[in-house]
Amino acid sequence: MLFLIYKMSLKLFAYNTLCPAYYVPRYDAITHPMNFSGSWRRARVLVAISWILSALFSSPILFFYETTETEEYGWVYRGEK
């Protein structure tokens, strides 16, 4: 259950870091149309860095939070370990 919460957090951080990764090459192409050298290598590096940062920012959930099963509420997500 905790891994599911980690995956949700990872997607949230990935969306927020991937958007700027897409906008940087567009900005470069618009502001410098004659000097634009859009390379696949730079795009791959930007996407890889954004996923690594997302995993890094989401990782505290794995260490500092826990889930427990109760009879009344089912799975409970707690912020203290």
CA distance readout (Å), 41 to 2, 25, 37, 45, 68: 35, 12, 11, 6, 44
Q: What is the pLDDT of residue 26?
A: 80
| Buried b or exposed e, range 54-65, using 16+ CB within 10 angstroms | beebbeebeeeb
Helix (H) or strand (E) holding 7: helix 2-31
Predicted confidence (pLDDT) at residue 79 exceeds the cutoff of 80 = no
The rounded distance, in Å, linking the Cα atoms of 76 and 78 is 6
The domain ranges of the chain are: 2-78
- Condensed to tens digits (0 to 9), the pLDDT of residues 22-72 reads 787 788 778 877 876 667 787 788 889 989 999 998 888 877 777 666 666
Q: What is the pLDDT of residue 52?
A: 92
Predicted confidence (pLDDT) at residue 1 exceeds the cutoff of 70 = no
